[in-house]
Chain A
Amino acid sequence: MVTKARDREARRGSGSSGASGSGAKGDSPGKQIERLGLEQEDLTRILYFLKLCRYFDERMETLYRQGKLPGAIYSGRGQEGTHVGVAFALRKEDSLFPTHRDLSAQLTKGLELKRVMAQYWGRIDGYTRGRDGNSHVGDWADARTFTAISHLPIAYPVACGAALAYKHRGEPRVALAICGDGATSNGRWHEALNMSALHDLPVVWVVNNNLWAYSTPNTQEIPVETIAQRGAAYGMPGVRVDGANVLDVFEAATVAVERARKGEGPSLIESVSLRWRGHAGHDPAKYVPKEMLEDYMQNKDPVKRFQDLLQKEGVVDDGAVAELESRIKKEFDQGYEFAQSSPLPDPGDVELGLWADDGYWDREASRNGGLS
C-alpha cells in the first residue's frame, strides 16, 4: 500500500503540482490578459478579492488564537487563486455551491463581509441568523450561494438540481460547485458527475486540490494520477490548472462556464495549490513537509504572484496597492464593529425558522438572510 502510494507520488512528479504554468496557452501574461478581455477595472477587482480573502483569513486566525472568535476557522490561505479565479468567472445569476473551505469564493461571488463576520460571532445579522456558524454560510437571495454544509461533498448533487432548473426553463445560467481533493473519494461526487453528464446539465465541477484532506495526502486518497482525468469516466472535459495563477484558473473556469451556458454540458476543473494552514484552527498540520510549505509560500503564492504581475504590467502601481490595502483593512474593522454590535438571536426563537410557514424568516425582512 505504502509502496503503491510512493509509486503514484513519483508518477505525479514533485509535490503533485504538475499543473500548467502561467498562461494556459503558453503565451505571455500580457497576451493572456488581452485574450481574456480583462480591463484594468476587472484586474484590480481580482487583486482586491485576492487580497481581501488573504487579509480576512489572517486577521480571523489572529482573533481565533487570541480567543476572541468562537467556533471554528477553516483557512483557505494559499488557495485564493482557485477561489477567486472560479467565482470571478460567474455572473451574478449563476449559482455557487461551496464547502467549508471556500469562503473566499463566496466573498468573490458577493457575500457582504460584515454579515459574514456577524455569522462568525453567532449574531442575528449573520446570513444564517446564528443558526449556523463560521464558513457554513451562504446567501441565496442575493449572491446566489448555497449555505455550506460540512458533509462532503453534499452540495454536489444539489448543484445538479439547480442546473436542471436552468435547463428546464431554458435560462442561460450555470451552477458551479467546489469541493476538495478528499471529497472526490465520496460516492456522491461520482453520482453527481454521472448525473450531470447524462442529462447535459449546465454545471462546472471544481476540485480545489490543496494536496491534503485533513491529514491525508493525495497519494493515500486518489489511485489515479490526477483528479482531472476522472472527467473522462463521465465523458466530460477534465483540466488541471495551477491554482497559483489566478488567471489560469479564471481562464479554465470561463471556458467551462461558457460551455455549460451554451448547453454543451458539464466540465471538471482541478485546481492545484497547497493548504497553507491546518485543516482547521486547531490543527498545526505537522504532516505537511516544512520545505514544501516554504516553497509554496515563497514561490507559489497566488496573491503575491498576481500583484507582481499587475505591477509589472503597469496595471497597478504602489499607490493603488496601498489604497486597496487600506480599503480592505477598513472594511474588516467596520465588519468587526458591525458583528460585535449586532444582537445575539433571541433564545425564545430557537424553535422558529424550521418550517416555511412559521413566519420567522419573513420577520425583519431587511435582514433577509438567504431569503429568496
Chain B
Amino acid sequence: MATDDGSARGAEKTEKDASEAGAAGHGAEPRGKRSENGEATYLIAIAEALWEEMERDDRVFMLGEDIGVYGGAFKVTEGFIEKFGPERIMDTPICEETIVGTAVGAAMEGLRPIAEFQYADFMTSGFDELVTVAGKYHYRSGVRLPIVFRGPSGGGVRASNFHSNNPEPFFAHTPGLKVICPAFPTDAKGLLKSAVRDDNPCVFLEHKWIYRRIKEQVPTDPDFTVPIGKAEVKRDGGDLSIIAYGAMVHRALEAATELEDDGISVEVLDLRTVWPLDTEAILRTVERTSRAIVLYESHKAFGIGAEVSAVIAEEGFDLLDAPIVRLAPPNVPVPFSPALEDAYIPQVENIVEAVQKLSKW
C-alpha cells in the first residue's frame, strides 16, 4: 500500500514470526476468527465486544475513518457494515475534531457513540473537542456523554513517530475522561463493554502490538464485563512488584519468568485502567513486596509513573524498603530504526536488570 505506512510494512518483513505480519499497519489481513479451541486474539475480543454491544443497544453506533466497507485500518469492524448498515457504521471524512464533536452532540441527544481513531496518535488532531468539550461538559452542565473514543496505541511494531504513540497521560491528566489500557483479550472485551455502557466519556486505548499476538480463552457471555478502575494481579510474587499496563504487562511477565530462575519472585500488577487509578491495588501489592517498579510505555517524565510513584510515596511510604523505580521511554519521539526503537521501549533485559538491582537495594 502506498501510504505513509509503507515503510512500516516493509520493516515487518524482517520480523520472524508470521503472526506479527500486519501488526504495524493497515490491516490488509482479515481480522480472522476465534481458533478452534475457542481462543480469541485481542483484536477479535475487541470486535466481539463492539458487535455484542451494538446488538444489545440500538443507540450504540460507530463513526470513524474507513470503518465501513473497508472494515477499519486494522480490520476491527470487518463485516460490521453488512450487519448494522451505514448509519450505525458511519464512515467520516478525515476530520478528527468533528468526529469527536459529532460524537458529543449525538451523545447529548441520547445516542451512545463509539468513535474510532485510525491510530491513537490522531487523537491529538481531535484534542480540543476531547479535552475542552467532552471532558468538561458534564461538570458544567450535568449532561451525560456516554461516548467511547477508541484507537490503536503503542509501539514496538516499527511504525515510527506518528503511529506508535501512547497518549494516555494527556487524557488521564485532563478532567472528566476515563482512560482504559487493557493488556489481555478478556480484559479488552470486558472493559470495552463496560465503557460502552458507562455514562461518561471513556478513552479506550487498544495496543496494536497486542492485537494479533496475544490470544486466550475469552468469555462468550454477552453480559460479561470487567469493571473500569480495577487493577488485577497477573502474577503473584513476594519480592518485588512491577506495576504496568498495556504491552508492558507482557514484557513484565516475560521478565518475571526469567527472574524465577534467579530466585526472585516478582508480582505483576496490571493497572488495566489508568484513570480512575486503582490506588488500593497499588498499595496492596507494595505492602506485599515493599519494592516497586513502575513500568510503562508512555514517556517517562510527568507521566503515569510520576502519579503511581506519588501515590506510593504519599500513602505508602512506610511500606517501602527501597526507592521507587520508573522504567519508561525517554521523553523523545518514538524512533523508527529497530535499533533505536528497541533502545526507546523498555525491553525484557532492561526489566530483568532493573529488578536485579532493586532487589539488592
Chain A residues near B (Cβ < 8 Å)? 95, 127-128, 131-132, 136, 138, 140, 146-147, 149, 151, 154-166, 168, 175, 187-188, 191-192, 194-195, 198-199, 353-357, 360-361, 368-372
Contact = CB atoms under 8 A, between A and B. Distances in A.
B95 A163 contact: no
Nearest to A140: B143
Contact of A165 (B92, B95, B111): B111
A198 B65 CA distance: 14
Contacts of B90: 164, 199
Contacts of B105: 157-165, 175
Given A161-B113, A168-B111, A188-B95, 20 more contacts: A128-B141, A147-B140, A157-B104, A158-B105, A161-B103, A161-B106, A162-B109, A163-B105, A164-B102, A164-B111, A165-B109, A165-B111, A166-B109, A191-B97, A192-B98, A195-B95, A355-B138, A356-B146, A357-B199, A369-B142
B263 interface: no
Interface string B183-208: 00000000000000011100000000
Contacts of B133: 149, 154-155, 158
B61 to A, nearest CB: 7
Interface in B101-143: 101-111, 113, 128-129, 132-133, 136-143
A356 B109 contact: no
B34 interface: no
B100 interface: yes
Q: Which 9 A-B pairs have the closest CB atoms?
A: A161-B105, A157-B101, A361-B142, A165-B109, A356-B199, A370-B141, A191-B95, A161-B106, A161-B102
A337 B252 CA distance: 63
A160 B61 CA distance: 15
B143 A160 contact: no
30 contacts: A95-B109, A128-B141, A136-B140, A154-B101, A154-B128, A157-B98, A157-B100, A157-B129, A160-B98, A161-B103, A161-B108, A161-B113, A162-B106, A162-B109, A164-B90, A165-B106, A168-B111, A188-B101, A188-B128, A191-B98, A195-B102, A353-B138, A354-B176, A355-B138, A356-B198, A356-B200, A357-B199, A360-B142, A369-B142, A370-B143
Given A157-B105, A164-B106, A175-B105, A188 B97 contact: yes
Nearest to A372: B143
B117 to A, nearest CB: 15
A357 B146 CA distance: 12
Contacts of B128: 151, 154, 188
Contact of B139 (A140, A165, A353): A353
A161 B176 contact: no
B106 to A, nearest CB: 4
Contacts of B142: 353, 360-361, 368-371
Interface of B: 61, 87, 90, 92-93, 95, 97-98, 100-111, 113, 128-129, 132-133, 136-146, 175-176, 198-200
A372 B107 CA distance: 11
B85 to A, nearest CB: 11
Contacts of A191: 93, 95, 97-98
A360 B137 CA distance: 14
A183 to B, nearest CB: 13
Contacts of A198: 93
B138 A356 contact: yes
Contacts of B129: 154, 157-158, 188
A162 B109 CA distance: 6
A39 B132 CA distance: 42
B101 A138 contact: no
Interface centre among B93, B100, B109, B129 (most CB of A within 10 A): B109
A127 to B, nearest CB: 8
B41 to A, nearest CB: 32
A85 B48 CA distance: 49
A154 B132 contact: yes
B93 A194 contact: yes
A160 B132 contact: no
Nearest to B145: A356
Contacts of A188: 95, 97-98, 101, 128-129
Nearest to B143: A140
A170 B137 CA distance: 26
A122 to B, nearest CB: 13
B69 to A, nearest CB: 16
A59 to B, nearest CB: 25
B61 A168 contact: yes
Contact of A161 (B107, B136, B175): B107
A299 to B, nearest CB: 39
Nearest to A128: B140
Contacts of B92: 195
Contacts of A354: 138-139, 175-176
Contacts of B93: 191, 194-195, 198
Contacts of A361: 138, 142
A192 B111 contact: no
Nearest to B58: A168
Contacts of B146: 356
Nearest to A164: B106
B61 A192 contact: no
A146 B105 CA distance: 9
B102 to A, nearest CB: 4
A43 to B, nearest CB: 32
A355 B200 CA distance: 6
Given A147-B137, A369-B142, A370-B142, A156 B200 contact: no
Given A131-B140, A154-B132, A195-B92, A160 B101 contact: yes
A195 B98 contact: yes
Given A149-B132, A154-B129, A195-B95, A356 B144 contact: yes
